[in-house]
Amino acid sequence: MNKIARRVYELALPLAREQGLELWDVEYLKEAGEWRLRVYIDKTEGSVGINDCEAFSRAFDPILDAEDPIEGSYVFEVNSAGAERELKRPSDFERFLGSTVEVKLYQSREGRKQFTGTLKGYENGDVRVDCAGTEYCFPASSVAQVRLRII
């Protein structure tokens, strides 16, 4: 998470909690020549809907304006974390132990860069996954991304 995303995360966290939401992630990146600030929200009970995103956006917009953590113009978006969200923090992996995940690697292993299976463990960035009865341990340095998969 870059410096701006981290600051926005700090600003958004109290509001998310106040609205009964979980702040999943914040991204600040350039896409197609435009800077984008994306805030991802989640709920522990039920799923995030358009009304949740709109309510959070309307309440957070004045906070962003007052704090002004970003110089210049940008597009502000509030999104659901999504059913196939990326797992990033140790708490994400702990929460979704036993779930189906897709692991993408930087370099091929056994001739492939993607493995889909059941998340069995996470320790110091290393990811353990059971893929159809074969358990793999992927060292943190080899893992490009881990996402939940709905199969």
CA nearest to 142, candidates 125, 130, 129: 125
Spatial separation of the C-alpha atoms in residues 148 and 116, rounded to whole Å? 9
Q: At residue 151, does pLDDT exceed 90?
A: no
Per-residue pLDDT band for 1 (boundaries 50, 70, 90) equals confident
Helix (H, G, I), strand (E, B) or coil at 8: helix
CA nearest to 24, candidates 37, 36, 38, 34: 38
What pTM value is reported for the model?
0.83
141-147: average pLDDT: 97
Q: At residue 87, does pLDDT exceed 90?
A: yes
Question: CATH 3.30.300.70 residue ranges in the chain?
Answer: 3-80
Q: Which residues contact 109 (CB under 8 A, 6 or more apart)?
A: 115, 136, 138, 142
Question: CATH 2.30.30.100 residue ranges in the chain?
Answer: 90-148
Using one digit for the tens of pLDDT, what is the confidence trace for 33-47?
A: 999 999 999 998 878
How far, in Å, are 8, 20, 38 from residue 61 at the CA level? 11, 18, 12
- 3-80 to CATH, choices 3.40.50.2300, 3.40.50.720, 3.30.300.70, 3.40.50.300: 3.30.300.70
Only one residue has tokens 């009970």, namely 45
Could you tell me which residue, 44 or 70, shows the higher pLDDT? 70
Per-residue pLDDT band for 29 (boundaries 50, 70, 90) equals very high
- Cα Dmax for the chain: 53
Q: Name the DSSP class of 43.
A: -
117 φ, ψ (degrees, to nearest 5): -175, -165
Spatial separation of the C-alpha atoms in residues 38 and 79, rounded to whole Å? 7
Could you tell me which residue, 45 or 59, shows the higher pLDDT? 59
Domain 90-148 matching CATH 2.30.30.100: the answer reads yes
